[in-house]
Structure 1
């Protein structure tokens, strides 16, 4: 059965791969983007012929912008039944050099932004007595990383959000889970120096970076009926790097 799916930050990278995976299985998919164009919104997915992405400009650090985005999606596609909170930023520097603005700015997007979207989505999910929330965290949130105190804190916080949502809304057939990717083949990792990529691969038991589609597969599975009894879980997609940390 086709459902209405929202992927925040779904105009590129992992978010776009997730959005396209839902489109391929026949769902109605909206993506939010903060600036520029929303790739995939103007052209059908030629490879699958599955349909289009509905692009909505949204700043997840602004509650009014989040509400307006949801209102537009509800008018075009119907109430959001599957929320994938993927929008995120980095602002890396060592602890002693990190300003309060750098710390709070990353948390406002990655953590509080996810809260804003989950809160807005929950109203319709509660009415329908069905919903799926999937928060895109990171191995860094559980494993830690030098120079990323702000990012790690924001991604670790998503685990607490998902588990609290599970305890609050689980009786209404609403699940909340976390997907924690490791290093993924994206434009960002492609720009890393070769020696850095070699170093990272040595630390990964699988010996390679993930494909974005592998992250998307975990997300679509969690959103499906077969994962209806899974809630409050953290699913690592990291090639064994974190091993449950």
Structure 2
């Protein structure tokens, strides 16, 4: 039986890497992203190798749109059994320049968006008495980060949310874990580099104990394990896939 996996932020970066891995694992995969065209392109490419995929354009910051998206997944593929919440935004703003609007938007997408997706997916998991949830948080929430108070706070909330999910949902056969990456070479990271928010990717990569930036495939490999039968006794954990950058 092929399980149904939903990946948010799946049109590029970590989310796309996870979607590709899940196809290799034999799952039916729904790719959710605010860039519907890019999600469709990715879904069609994966379908061309025989996978059953679905692309849905959705902004996870819109709760009603999230619910409609999961209804669409249910109709096309079946109940969601696996959820990876990779959709997120980042920005670099000094604390005293942070506006209430910037703060609210960051939390609406990164934290409330994660919550909305989980809330939409969990009923099917409870009914099946089986489920896997992996949230993508950030090591910035563990270490703090200058000019990113709003981002670090939103991702810290994701870590707390995930631990609470693990406690509440364990009796239903559902696991919940979070992966907080450090440096991953993604289009979003490259945009941050181009905008001057972070030093060069190569500069930071040299500081990583393993000597390189992470890749979407690195994160996807961990998701693959956590969402498998073999990962069924791992829940409520912060799984650091970071090359030793944060220990």
TM class by shorter-chain length? Answer: over 0.9
**8 Å Cα contact 1:4/1:82 also seen in 2:** yes
Q: Which runs of 5+ in 2 are unaligned?
A: none
Instruction: Give, in whole Å, the separation in 2 of the partners of 1:104 and 1:118.
Output: 20
Change (3 A) 1:207 1:44: closer
The whole-number CA distance in structure 2 between the counterparts of 1:195 and 1:65 is 36
Alignment of 1:20-169 (within 5 A): 20-37=20-37, 38=39, 39-44=41-46, 49-169=49-169
Shift of 1:156: 1.1
Q: Alpha-carbon deviation of 1:203?
A: 2.6
- Inter-partner Cα distance in structure 1 for 2:77 and 2:109: 25
Distance 2:180 2:237 in 1: 10
Aligned to 1:229: 233
How far residue 55 of structure 1 moved from its aligned partner, in angstroms, is 0.3
Pick from 216, 219, 227: which aligns with 1:215? 219
Query: Shift of residue 136 of structure 1?
Result: 0.5
The separation in 2 between residues aligned to 1:231 and 1:96, in whole angstroms, is 38
What is the TM-score normalised by the length of structure 1? 0.93
Structure 1 pair 163–240 and aligned structure 2 pair: CA distance change class (3 A):
same
> Normalising by the residue count of structure 2, what TM-score does the alignment of the two structures yield?
0.92
Contact 1:91/1:102 (8 A) holds in 2:
no
CA offset at residue 188 of structure 1? 3.5
Change (3 A) 1:36 1:121: closer
Structure 1: stretches of 5+ with no match in the other structure: none
1:50 CA displacement: 4.0
Question: How far does residue 199 in structure 1 lie from its aligned partner after superposition?
Answer: 3.3
RMSD: 1.7
- Report the CA distance between 1:187 and its aligned residue: 2.4
What's 1:201 paired with?
205
Q: Is the 8 A contact 1:90 1:106 kept in 2?
A: yes
SS at match of 2:45: coil
Structure 1 counterpart SS, 2:184: coil
Q: CA deviation at 1:190?
A: 4.1
Contact 2:36 2:55 in 1 (8 A): no
1:59 shift after superposition: 1.7
